[in-house]
Chains A and B, each alone.
Chain A
Amino acid sequence: MGAVLQVRGLSKSFGGIVALRDVSLHAEEKEVLAIIGPNGSGKTTLLNVITGVYRPDAGGVWLNGEQLVGLTPAQICIKGVARTFQNIRLFKRLTVLDNVMIGQHHRFGAGLARVLLASRASRGEEAEFEVEARALLAKVGLAGLEDAAAQSLPYAKQRLLEIARALAAAPKALLLDEPAAGMNSEEIVHLEALVRSLREEGLTVIMIEHVMDLVREVADRVVVLNYGAKIAEGSFAEIEADPEVIEAYLGKGAGSCSA
């Protein structure tokens, strides 16, 4: 099976700080790839480079063989890469439903004239997308909250809304930046089920996560970053036993103790 998202030789520095050093990875169809690593290891920078927020110094990103480097974030989203943010970036004052329908933006086809004349095509399209947006909200578990302001939702629900908004863009690859941060164990179980069902639907999910329970449960493969470089890759069991990973997390000499 070919890789849906491929990252090769990616490097990015900010002044003297090397955030990413020659990182390569790939994610296949119907796969959940987890990216883990200590704070400051370059995980979020990697997501920002993939989605075009930053331009890499070297290397490339391909979606189904198509180069994404050089495109704007909007163009990359339209090609099929959608994301959530670590520090939740919802459109706070807008309603939950509007947030999701903004995710659908690029899929609308009626031009300005049709919108202004409220043509049948434009109204039909609007109604159709609204039905879809409500279904997406029900799917992530936010049914009944459509008309609430996004900022009025509790933290965990805001994270789910970000996922719904990203899904609304109809992506091929979904990038989640610490989706479980700030969630309690019950909410994490709900998130697990959601990520699994997305995989079943054929989506490629790349997930940055610190909550190891979630990674163990849903990740097919794990990539470990440290100081901007990839230090390990494999199944969760393989990663768990890798001395270099243990060292990165716990320090030198910890490997022998932890056994």
Chain B
Amino acid sequence: MRPERLKAIAIVFGLLAAAPLFLPNRYYVYIFNRGFANALAVIGLVILFGMGGQISLGHIAFFTLGAYTSAIFSVRLGWPSAAAVLAGVALASIWGAFLSVPAFKLSGPFLSICTVAFGEVVRLLTINLVSLTNGPYGFYGIPSLILFGRRIGSEKAWYFLLWSLLVFAILAAARLKRSYIGRALAAIREDETAAEVMGINVRAMKTLAFVCAAFCAGLAGALYAHMSGFLSPESFTGEQSFSLFSMTVVGGQESVLGGVAAGVALTLLPELMRFLQEYYIMIFSLIVLLIVLLPLESMMERAKMWMAGLAREGGKVPWGRCSK
């Protein structure tokens, strides 16, 4: 990566680290925290879908599994909250491994239907397993997280915790992408048969991608449970799965930083557009559509060429086709 780009990224992250000191009230910090949790889940989808080409349209299920497991373990079984979070992450990851089994045979729309079904099963379980989840009334009284003897209670504390976890996750995902494992996932996305013939254990790689994705979403969910203190089946619907998926696509699918930026931005956006009242969904969808449909990359490239042309030829614009 070029040094100037690295510097720009460092500045953005530095500003984000200091943001809670400037934000006008706790509510905004809370929204940022939601954005960070979503971004964490999106990193998993970037690995699974962007790098590996495996579609999951029921991704909120892993978030739900992490959240409810952690809540149940800490409230019903009295586990320390940190251990309960780990249990939530572990259970979500195990289910990630299970869900990779249909992906051995299925791909494209068939796999996506399968993941939608999985998402629905988990959602219906949270509603109907009343003795465990308190069903449609919602699960309340979840204790706040205690890490190394320190209680993570305030929005600001959560902000710094989630922000640092996010930075770790970004680094890990970027390393994965540039490793032989990331290349193997890309190979499977491009041509599964050729990947297999080149000595890649396709099944193992698919399972790995699903586990990574479920791990990220499960961690985000388990933390969310302790952050909000309350879980309701209504906040984990198919709509949430689609919104995680659109965050991944808007961020550029393969780009870890893009996915994180989209995850945070698309969580903040609805809040910033509250003044639009009932029209906000319409405007919001329109923005997402435009981001996906417009050829942003080639537009940026063209803009760069245009600038370079301006500098070189003193005003002439090279409107050639630009290829990457």
- Measured CB to CB, the residues of A under 8 A from B are 51, 53, 72-74, 77-78, 82-83, 85, 89-94, 98, 101-106, 108, 110, 112, 115-116, 118, 122, 126, 129, 165-166, 169
Contact = CB atoms under 8 A, between A and B. Distances in A.
Contacts of A101: 180, 183
A108 B178 CA distance: 13
Contacts, number: 86
Interface residues of B, number: 24
A51 B190 contact: no
Given A89-B193, A98-B186, A108 B180 contact: yes
A98 B183 contact: yes
B195 to A, nearest CB: 7
Contacts of A51: 197
B179 interface: yes
Contacts of A73: 193, 196-197
Contact of A91 (B175, B190, B208): B190
B187 interface: yes
A146 to B, nearest CB: 14
Contacts of B197: 51, 53, 73-74, 77, 83
Interface string B140-177: 00000000000000000000000000000000100110
B193 A105 contact: no
Nearest to A126: B179
A102 B187 contact: yes
A105 B186 contact: no
Contact of B191 (A53, A91, A103, A166): A91
B199 interface: yes
B195 A102 contact: yes
Nearest to A80: B199
Nearest to A77: B199
Given A74-B199, A115-B180, A116-B176, 5 more contacts: A73-B193, A92-B190, A106-B200, A122-B179, A126-B179
A51 B193 CA distance: 11
B184 interface: yes
A91 B186 contact: yes
- Give the 9 A-B residue pairs with the shortest CB-CB distance, closest first: A77-B199, A106-B199, A91-B190, A89-B194, A108-B180, A115-B179, A73-B196, A116-B172, A73-B197
Contacts of A110: 179
A107 to B, nearest CB: 8
Contact of B187 (A85, A91, A129): A91
B181 interface: yes
Contacts of B202: 74
A89 B191 contact: yes
Contacts of A129: 180
B201 interface: yes
Contacts of B201: 72, 74
B198 interface: yes
26 contacts: A72-B196, A73-B193, A73-B196, A74-B198, A77-B197, A78-B199, A83-B197, A89-B194, A91-B187, A91-B190, A93-B190, A94-B183, A94-B187, A94-B190, A98-B186, A102-B195, A102-B198, A105-B180, A105-B187, A105-B198, A106-B199, A110-B179, A115-B179, A116-B175, A122-B179, A169-B199
A102 B184 CA distance: 6
A3 B199 CA distance: 23
A85 B198 CA distance: 11
B186 A118 contact: no
A106 B198 CA distance: 8
A83 B196 CA distance: 12
Interface string B182-218: 0110110011011111111110000010000000000
B1 to A, nearest CB: 14
B197 to A, nearest CB: 5
Given A94-B190, A102-B195, A74 B200 contact: yes
Contacts of B199: 74, 77-78, 82, 103, 105-106, 169
Nearest to B194: A89
B90 to A, nearest CB: 16
B180 A126 contact: yes
A89 B187 CA distance: 11
Contact of B175 (A89, A92, A103, A115): A115
Contacts of B195: 91, 102
Contacts of B190: 91-94
Most chain B C-beta atoms within 10 Å of own C-beta, residue among A93, A98, A105: A105
Nearest to A72: B196
B52 to A, nearest CB: 13
B302 to A, nearest CB: 19
Given A115-B175, A115-B181, A74 B194 contact: no
Nearest to B195: A102
Contacts of B175: 115-116, 118
B47 to A, nearest CB: 11
A118 B175 CA distance: 7
Contacts of B176: 115-116
B6 to A, nearest CB: 16
